[in-house]
């Protein structure tokens, strides 16, 4: 608290990101980073761009990156918005497209940054309960009893549950809410089946905005690049916000790195495939240890042990230099969100869990 803060600052509840400890030899499975690293072509492009031209501002419209993304996703530059990480793209969308008199609808268990943006921008929102096993039901997002949404937002696959809503169900929601923007945050979509993305629907639904990131499947969390694809009217709205906030959200290094990453389809497919394979193995091993693990379409799994407290397991893992994410949020406080690492990291994790479960006295909290 400070008397120098504005009333807005006093009223904020900021997002708490997963920790980034500076320790080496840590198995870091807490923030869904990609263990395989970025495309070597991206690194090469970034190194080559670390040159005298850095004295010049970057292209404020990021045209070359938009052209690469347009080619990759079979659309046009007018359908694309890019930002400094998808968190920035989301923030602009909350202010520019989702803030209306009617409340914004979102799942009750979802990316915890959404309520933070609502707090920052004064957006009224409503939490829609998930069904059993954290399933998101399209029915719950259709207008009913004369009630409509001012906007709709959810990640698909959802975070931190990993559950995927089939594309046909996403389309049902978009079609039933033509007057509201439906924002699908596809941070993890590249770890789902090939035809899961809602990008294929944007030509039919001008209210649909799809947001993706380079942080997970393209292993460029440190570069900060995200993008949105949707009808040019939505993109123009985002541009108005962006150009009222920061003309150059992406620097020269981010632009060239992202372009090279988009163009390296081979590296992308390879790393995504490895993670999908490891996820299946990790899920099976966790279930053998007695964990309850809903099916995940993301690069993490969400797991609960019926006989052991999640906080205690997380603490015991930490003592063994393995960090996972434990949310103390009511309803999911007995779950751990575990990033899918390499096969070797997964094996180390499973061995540590086996030891922890054997030595710990089973609790009763969670039975």
Ligand X SMILES: *Cc1c(COP(=O)(O)O)cnc(C)c1O
Q: From the list 161, 207, 215, 271, which residue makes contact with ligand X (rule: CB under 6 A)?
A: 215
Question: Is residue 155 at the binding interface for ligand X, with CB under 6 A as the rule?
Answer: yes
Binders in 101-120 for ligand X, by CB under 6 A: 111
Question: Is residue 197 at the binding interface for ligand X, with CB under 6 A as the rule?
Answer: no
235 or 316: CB nearest ligand X: 235
How far is CA 132 from its chain centroid?
Answer: 22
- Residue 225 Cβ vs ligand X, minimum distance, rounded to whole Å: 7
Question: Is residue 29 at the binding interface for ligand X, with CB under 6 A as the rule?
Answer: no
| End-to-end Cα separation, the chain, in angstroms | 41
Question: Is residue 226 at the binding interface for ligand X, with CB under 6 A as the rule?
Answer: yes
d(CA 139, CA 143): 9
Q: From the list 207, 213, 297, 345, which residue makes contact with ligand X (rule: CB under 6 A)?
A: 213
Question: Is residue 353 at the binding interface for ligand X, with CB under 6 A as the rule?
Answer: no
Question: Is residue 38 at the binding interface for ligand X, with CB under 6 A as the rule?
Answer: no
20 or 233: CB nearest ligand X: 20
159 or 176: CB nearest ligand X: 159
Query: What is the CB neighbour count within 10 angstroms for residue 163?
Result: 23
d(CA 14, CA 109): 17
Q: From the list 33, 171, 185, 190, which residue makes contact with ligand X (rule: CB under 6 A)?
A: 185
Binders in 254-313 for ligand X, by CB under 6 A: none
Q: Which residues pair with 105 in a beta bridge?
A: 126, 152
86 or 278: CB nearest ligand X: 86
Q: Contact, 70 vs 285, CB < 8 A?
A: no
Q: From the list 173, 221, 255, 313, which residue makes contact with ligand X (rule: CB under 6 A)?
A: 221
Ramachandran bin of 331, using left for φ above 0, alpha for ψ from -120 to 50, beta for the remaining angles: left
From the list 8-16, 130-138, 143-151, 213-221, the region that binds ligand X by CB under 6 A is 213-221
Question: Is residue 249 at the binding interface for ligand X, with CB under 6 A as the rule?
Answer: no
- Residue 208 Cβ vs ligand X, minimum distance, rounded to whole Å: 17
260 or 353: CB nearest ligand X: 260
For ligand X (CB under 6 A), the number of binding residues is 12
Question: Is residue 217 at the binding interface for ligand X, with CB under 6 A as the rule?
Answer: no
Per-residue x/- mask for ligand X, residues 72 to 91, rule CB under 6 A? -------------xxx----
d(CA 297, CA 301): 9
Query: What is the CB neighbour count within 10 angstroms for residue 143?
Result: 13
Per-residue x/- mask for ligand X, residues 40 to 79, rule CB under 6 A? ----------------------------------------
Q: Which pair of structure tokens corresponds to residue 106? A: 């979102």
Angle between helices 252-263 and 40-49 (to 10 degrees): 150
d(CA 107, CA 13): 19
d(CA 207, CA 283): 36
Give the residues lining the site for ligand X (CB under 6 A): 85-87, 111, 155, 159, 185, 187, 213, 215, 221, 226
């Amino acid at each position: 608290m400070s008397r120098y803060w504005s009333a807005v600052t006093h009223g904020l509840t900021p997002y708490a990101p997963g920790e980034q400890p500076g320790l080496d030899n840590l198995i870091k499975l807490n923030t869904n980073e990609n263990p395989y690293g970025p495309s070597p072509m991206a690194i090469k492009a970034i190194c080559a761009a670390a040159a005298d031209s850095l004295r010049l501002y970057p292209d404020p419209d990021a045209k070359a990156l938009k052209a690469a993304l347009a080619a990759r996703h079979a659309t046009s530059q007018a359908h694309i918005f890019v930002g400094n990480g998808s968190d920035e793209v989301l923030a602009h969308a909350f202010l520019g497209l989702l803030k209306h008199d009617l409340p914004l609808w979102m799942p009750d268990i979802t990316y915890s940054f959404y309520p933070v943006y609502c707090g920052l921008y004064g957006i009224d929102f409503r939490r829609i309960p998930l069904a059993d096993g954290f399933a998101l039901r399209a029915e719950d997002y259709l207008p009913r009893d004369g009630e409509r949404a001012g906007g709709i937002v959810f990640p698909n696959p959802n975070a931190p549950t990993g559950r995927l809503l089939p594309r046909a169900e996403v389309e049902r929601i978009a079609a039933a809410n033509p007057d509201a923007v439906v924002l699908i945050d596809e941070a993890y979509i590249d770890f789902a089946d090939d035809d899961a993305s809602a990008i294929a629907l944007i030509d039919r639904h001008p209210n649909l905005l799809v947001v993706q990131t380079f942080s997970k499947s393209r292993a460029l969390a440190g570069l900060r690049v995200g993008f949105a694809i949707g009808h040019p009217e939505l993109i123009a709205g985002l541009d108005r916000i962006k150009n009222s906030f920061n003309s150059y959200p992406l620097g020269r290094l981010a632009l060239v790195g992202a372009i090279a990453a988009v163009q390296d389809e081979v590296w992308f497919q390879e790393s995504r495939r490895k993670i999908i394979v490891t996820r299946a193995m990790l899920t099976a091993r966790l279930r053998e240890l007695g964990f309850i693990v809903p099916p995940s379409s993301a690069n993490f799994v969400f797991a609960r042990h019926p006989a052991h407290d999640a906080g205690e397991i997380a603490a015991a893992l930490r003592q063994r230099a393995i960090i996972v994410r434990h949310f103390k949020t009511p309803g999911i406080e007995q779950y751990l969100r575990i990033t899918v690492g390499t096969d070797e990291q997964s094996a180390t994790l499973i061995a540590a869990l086996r030891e922890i479960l054997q030595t710990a006295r089973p609790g009763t909290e969670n039975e």
